[in-house]
Amino acid sequence: MNVLRTAEQDALLAALPSGARCIAFPNSGPNTHWEPPQAVAGAIRAFVAN
The per-residue pLDDT for range 1-50, each reduced to its tens digit, is 566 677 887 888 889 888 788 888 887 777 877 888 899 999 999 999 98
pLDDT at 4: 65
pLDDT at 1: 57
pLDDT at 34: 82
Enclosing H/E stretch for 13 = helix 6-14
Full-model pTM: 0.61
pLDDT at 38: 92
pLDDT at 45: 95
